[in-house]
Amino acid sequence: MKLRGKQKRYLRSQANRMKPLFSVGKNGLNETWLEQVLDALHRRELIKVNIQQNSDLEVSDVQEYIEENSDINVVQTIGKTLLLFLPASKEKFQVYSVEVRNI
C-alpha cells in the first residue's frame, strides 16, 4: 500500500505518544527479528522501532532492509527511530488502516 501525504500525517499524529516497541542492537538485523516485527504489526498496525547507540547500522540501512524484505511501510524516521505501518489482515485488529483508507 503506497501512502499519500495526508495518510502519513495521520499516522504520525497517532504515533506521537507511542514508545518504541522493538530495537536494533549490536546483533543487527535478521529474519527472526523481521518475523517478530511483522507479527507485532499484524496485531497493532503501527509501531516504532529504535536503533540503539551500540548498533553498527544506520537508519537508512534498517529502512532499506525492512522495505526490501517485507511489505511494511516506513512512514517516518526521526533520529534513530522509525515509524512502521502495515495494514492488519484480520478485521478485529484493523484500527488505523480503516481510517487511512478513508483519507
> pLDDT tens digits for the chain (103 residues)?
789 999 999 999 999 999 999 999 888 889 999 999 999 999 999 999 999 999 889 999 999 999 999 999 999 999 999 999 999 988 889 989 888 888 8
Helix locations, 1-103, DSSP H: 5-14, 31-44, 59-69, 96-102
Q: What is the pLDDT of residue 62?
A: 93
Q: What is the pLDDT of residue 28?
A: 80
- Note the pTM of the prediction, 2 decimals: 0.90
Distance (Å, rounded) from C-alpha 80 to C-alpha 75? 14
d(CA 37, CA 29): 11
